[in-house]
Amino acid sequence: MSSRYQSTKQIRDSRNTRRAQTWIYAVPATTNEDTFIQTTTPDRLDNIANDFYSDPQLWWLIAAVNGLGKGSLMVPENTKLRIPSAINIQELAIQINNIR
């Protein structure tokens, strides 16, 4: 798996310190097309993203809408998750590509 920072542009701030260029994305609003699940065993955000979007690198989106992923990809058993619809994900991907 490639690093999610692999294509991140490196910039220098006003003190000439190198850092990664970052973007802030709006989390998609809840829609009727969203899926809600409850984990029955411990799972990983990247595996869930792969199951729903066929792309494990979108784990961060599921983490963001559910307030997870701070330091771990693990999702405990019996965790209720909102999975944004693939349509919302495609629209977000278009926005991201237009920014970059």
> CATH no. for residue 72?
3.10.350
When divided into structural domains, the chain yields a total of 1
20: in domain: no
The backbone torsions φ and ψ at residue 90, rounded to the nearest 5 degrees and listed phi first, read -65, -40
| pLDDT number for residue 39 | 95
- Tell me, yes or no, if the pTM score tops 0.85: no
For residue 18, the cross-strand partners are 12
Q: Running along the chain, 100 residues long, what does each successive block of 10 average in pLDDT?
A: 60 82 68 92 95 91 87 93 83 59
45: in domain: yes
5: in domain: no
Q: Residue 39's domain spans which residues?
A: 27-99
Question: Beta-strand (E) ranges in 7-92?
Answer: 10-12, 18-20, 35-38, 43-44, 74-75, 80-83
72: in domain: yes
39: in domain: yes
